[in-house]
Amino acid sequence: MGMFDDFKFNLNLVKDLIDEDQLAILKTRDKKYFYGQTKDLDCVMSFYEISRKRLYQHNTDTFDDMFESVNFEPKDRLETDKEFVKITNYIDVYDYVENEKGSHYFNFKLHFIDGKLNSINLSDYDFTSGEEIDKRLKELENKLKNSNKGFKNKIKQKLAKAAYGVYRFFSY
């Protein structure tokens, strides 16, 4: 995992790239905007927005006050000043949208030249049904249960307990 940046752009930018069903799925989260994440910028929980086909970074610090509860929701970090970001780069912006049918993964590739949006494409879309998700979770659960069985695992557990005992002996 690791850190990332939040991203927002108007759904009008992608309505010609996706079919009506996909657009309806995206609109379940927000009627007007796509909110996603990217690891192609500074990766310090910044918030970026495309407005009038230009890239802006909101001047906000998620960690303003260490005594305040931290709000990571992108929608709640919009009431700040923003500044134009003059970059030339490709940026992948992605997110999962869950609904009653399953999980939908959207990945948009945005191309900026001097901070202006040059092109946008749907680079990846994947759907995983709820039944498939349940099946994968069950397989993972069984794999974890089975990994704790067997002769090798018993030896590992005994060695770990012995090492911990030695550590405790020398730490006091």
**31 φ, ψ to 5°?**
-70, -25
Give this prediction's pTM: 0.71
pLDDT, position 97: 92
pLDDT, position 73: 55
Taking residue 24's Cβ as centre, other Cβ atoms within 10 Å add up to 11
pLDDT, position 51: 92
pLDDT, position 43: 82
pLDDT, position 65: 47
Q: Which residues of the chain have pLDDT under 50?
A: 65-71
pLDDT, position 70: 47
Q: What is the pLDDT of residues 75-124, one digit of tens each?
A: 555 566 889 999 999 999 999 999 888 899 999 999 999 999 999 999 99
pLDDT, position 163: 80
Distances (CA, A) of 75 to 58, 108, 109, 111, 156: 12, 19, 22, 24, 47
